[in-house]
Amino acid sequence: MSLADISIKNLKPPEKPKKLSDSNGLYLYAMPAGLKSWRFDYRFQRKRLTLTFGT
């Protein structure tokens, strides 16, 4: 499922940190302070890693 621009802009700050997945490991991470960042989960040498792209 892909995220629409309008749904991201209208997202209210959640009570707890929340992940809204887009596809293939990419997701929007929303924090209670109202900060939103794009993150990407991947595996390298059998370790799960997360790359943050920014707000």
Is residue 27 within 8 Å of 1, Cβ to Cβ?
no
* In the predicted structure, residue 29 carries a pLDDT above the cut 70: yes
Share of residues in the chain with pLDDT > 90 (%): 62
* In the predicted structure, residue 38 carries a pLDDT above the cut 80: yes
| Arithmetic mean of pLDDT, 30-44 | 93
| Arithmetic mean of pLDDT, 37-51 | 94
5-54 placed in CATH 3.30.9.10: no
CA 41 centroid distance within chain: 10
